[in-house]
Structure 1
Amino acid sequence: MAIYDYIIVGAGASGLMLADALGKDPFFSNTKVLILEKDGKQQNDRTWCFWETGEGHFAPVLHKSWNQIFFAGKAYSEKSTIAPYTYKMVRGQDFYDAYLERIKRYPNITFANRTVTGITDKTTKVAVATNKETFTAKKVFNSAFDYQKLLQQDQFPVLQQHFLGWFVKTAKPTFHPDRATFMDFSIPQNGNTRFMYVLPSSETEALIEYTLFSKKVLSQGEYEDALKLYLKEQLGCDDYEITAVEKGNIPMSCFDYNTFNSQNVLHIGIAGGWAKASSGYTFMPTFKKSKQLVQFLKTDRPLHAFLKKDRFWFYDLLLLDILDHDNSQGRVIFEQLFKNQTPQKIFKFLDEETTLWEDLQIIAACPKLLFIKALLRRLF
């Protein structure tokens, strides 16, 4: 059986972004790549959102974009234009279709429908066992995530960004098509960090998500009751049809994901800690990490040398420590942040592109005592 240079386990966002980045880089034109995916990616199983300036890389698969956002807390709310940024949505099926079609054009990349049952780094090669046969590669990139490994440690808090979203069609005009509701904390918090997230595609159609940053998920009924109440009381809408449902759960942790990696096996995407720990945003961080990884591979260094901690990791850790210690503080933190800083500065900070001086401005906009206490707990 042929030995591949690289095997990518999983054809989700991280796997396909990495494959595409390898495929279009002439440096890897003679590199044999195999993608293993257990299904054919024929379902619209998720929606990704992100912000960026300009047209961007994902214009061909863009479903909707917004030039304004709305934020609401308990005592503060604001509608804001976000130029030069645009808030954007990509549907999973559109992304899969476009990327799988693109990857077919790369002669050095092969796709196979297999269920991976085991990965073993044998120092000089990696064996990838599947439901049909075992493949061999020099290096493996694994996007399969084992949530239980995070729960087996107590050094770093582990929260979840969990949500239920309804795609709704209303009988009367209800939404502002050019304005996304980024976070609406005006809803009951019940001791947690809870907000609504509304992405309208027209005056009568939108995705509405009930989202929490907390340790434990809710029952299905609790999510549904909150969505019904928001539609009725906040949006004044009783007459609507649910056209599709989206449910998700993203880990929020500064856990050292590098403990999963070895010389020749690297976890990618959510499994590799590529999601932004403090916000749960995954799509654009994964795109950036994929590009960085391709450049790293040209150095031929061990894969466990790829991940590096920086000051943004520590900022995320402090926020998660606060929410782990008192999960009700999320609304206070985000409300003060959006009240005292512009969305543009906040987006730049979340993109980890701010200077140290700009970082200090963001930190100064937040409740200082909460972060000082979190810092002291972490140091002592």
Structure 2
Amino acid sequence: MKHFDYIILGAGASGLLLAYRIASDAFFDDTSILIIDKSSNKGNDRTWCFWEEGQGEWDDILEKSWSSVFFGSQTFSKTIDISPYRYKMIRSAAFYNKLWKKINQKSNIQFLEASIKDFQEKENVYVTTSKGDFTATKLFNSIPDLSYLKQKKYPVLQQHFVGWFVKTKTEIFDDTLATFMDFSVPQNGNTRFMYMLPIDKQTALFEYTLFSKDILQLSEYEAAIKDYLKEKSVSDFEILETEQGSIPMTSFKFSELNTSRVLNIGTAGGWTKASTGYTFRATSKHTKKITALLKQEKDVSKSLSKPKFWFYDLIFLDVLANYNASGAKLFSSLFKKTDVKTIFKFLDEESSLLEDLKIILSVPPKHFITSFFKRLF
């Protein structure tokens, strides 16, 4: 069996970005890397959004960015200037193309178009594919182990959504303002909101999103988008593209699945922010940290988690799981009482204890106190 220093399972965002980091650092030029996936060309299969101060690493491939966002609900609505942050949007095709351009320049990185059947850790890591078997000194796996869905210790919600890219015949959108969360849509016992990102004055992404345990029928998402478009007087339009997805929201300790030779990355590694479903910023930061630790020959298996924020997310998810209809009230209170820059720092896991306290004091206390003491004892 052919041996590689590193094998990366999956050529999605986390796998490709890790390969890109390695390809961008001459330190790894003598290292052999194999990327395995069923396809190298995933196209526009994802839309990623994130907030960032000033110029960023991905500004050359942004689809759009906004300096103001709208938060809406039945009890509180506000247009918020988020400067010096900008809310940024990337389409996956541009992102993948940028990464592959760098990766393909490196002769020490190979791609295998194959299905992954299994991997086992022995003295090395053994990988079985539809096109042969391989071994690696270290394996980076982005394919989720779904066993976490069966456990009962940590709640598992889904951030599930359907989005329509629509184009109107006239200029009706304010493309300087992104709708971050609009909870004015019927909640129906869940946490439901509309997400609207105008790319120009005639084109916008409307995405109906839920934080809940159960996936809906496609027709239910589509009906909600149609109702929202009608409410916003968007009547004469065509649907350019659609997207659909479900992102796990859980505080399950994915790091416990790691070993000194196998590191789970991306959603499989718990890089998705458990309380919000955001993944892109964490993926960008974690892949930088991994390459730095590899250069220092340090164990990366337990080094990416932040226990304080893990516990915050756990309590938050306990509340959302047990009181799923309270999401609109919770987020409304948070945005009403807390500066958005503090919220962004908190969600990026970069906030101080004082800033954490501001967040904690901004949300309705009853359910959080109950969940806190249940977890504590």
TM-score range, shorter chain: over 0.9
Kindly indicate whether the alpha-carbon contact (under 8 Å) linking 1:8 and 1:142 is maintained by their aligned counterparts in 2.
Answer: yes
> Aligned pair 1:140/2:113, yes or no?
no
2:37 matched to 1:40?
no
Is residue 2:58 matched to residue 1:58? yes
1:304-327, Cα deviation, whole Å (9 max, x unpaired)? 333434211111111100011110
1:121/1:262 contact within 8 Å kept: no
SS in 1 for 2:16: helix
Name the amino acid aligned to 1:349.
F
Are residues 1:254 and 2:231 paired? no
Structure 1: unaligned runs, 5 residues or longer: none
Cα distance in 1 for residues equivalent to 2:340 and 2:304: 28
Q: Which amino acid aligns with 1:246?
A: E
The answer to whether structure 1 residue 119 and structure 2 residue 116 are counterparts is no
Q: Are the equivalent residues in 2 in contact too, given 1:265–1:303 (CA < 8 A)?
A: no
User: Once the 2 structures are TM-superposed, how far is the Cα of residue 114 of structure 1 from its aligned partner?
Assistant: 1.5
What is the total number of aligned residue pairs between the two structures? 377
1:375 Cα shift?
Answer: 0.5
Structure 2: segments with no counterpart, 5+ residues: none
Aligned to 2:70: 70
- My pick for the range that moved more, 302-311 or 362-371, is 302-311
Q: Which residue of 1 aligns with 2:342?
A: 345
Determine the C-alpha separation between the residues in 2 that align with 1:184 and 1:303: 39
CA contact (8 A) 1:264 1:303 kept: no
- For the pair 1:23 / 2:41, whether they are aligned, the reply is no
Q: Report how far residue 137 of structure 1 moved.
A: 0.7
Tell me if structure 2 keeps the 8 A contact 1:54–1:85: yes
Aligned-partner Cα distance in 2 for 1:367–1:213: 18
Q: Write out aligned runs for 1:282-361 (5 A).
A: 282-361=279-358
8 Å contact kept, 2:155–2:321: yes
Residue identity matched to 2:85: Y
**Counterpart-to-counterpart distance in 2, 1:30 and 1:359:** 44
Mapped partners of 2:309, 2:300: distance in 1: 22
The aligned amino acid for 2:58 is F
Kindly indicate whether the alpha-carbon contact (under 8 Å) linking 1:20 and 1:102 is maintained by their aligned counterparts in 2.
Answer: yes
Residue 150 of structure 2 corresponds to 152
Question: How far apart, CA to CA, are the structure 2 residues paired with 1:226 and 1:213?
Answer: 15
Report what 2:224 is aligned to.
Answer: 226
Kindly state the Cα deviation for residue 371 of structure 1 after the two structures are TM-superposed: 1.3
1:168 correspondence with 2:170 = no
1:190 aligns with 2:188: yes
Number of the residue aligned with 2:4 = 4
Instruction: Name the counterpart of 1:107.
Output: 107
**CA–CA distance in 2 between the matches of 1:42 and 1:253?**
26
Letter in 2 for 1:135: F
Distance 2:349 2:300 in 1: 23
Give the counterpart letter for 1:305 in structure 2.
Answer: K
Could you tell me how far 1:172 is from its partner in structure 2? Answer: 3.0
CA distance in 1, matches of 2:69, 2:299: 42
- Kindly indicate whether residue 237 of structure 2 is the aligned counterpart of residue 240 of structure 1: yes
Deviation at 1:27, TM superposition (A): 2.6
Q: Kindly indicate whether the alpha-carbon contact (under 8 Å) linking 2:20 and 2:100 is maintained by their aligned counterparts in 1.
A: no
Match of 1:276 in 2: 273
Query: Contact between 1:193 and 1:213, CA under 8 Å: does it hold in 2?
Result: yes
Query: What TM-score results when the alignment is normalised by the length of structure 2?
Result: 0.97
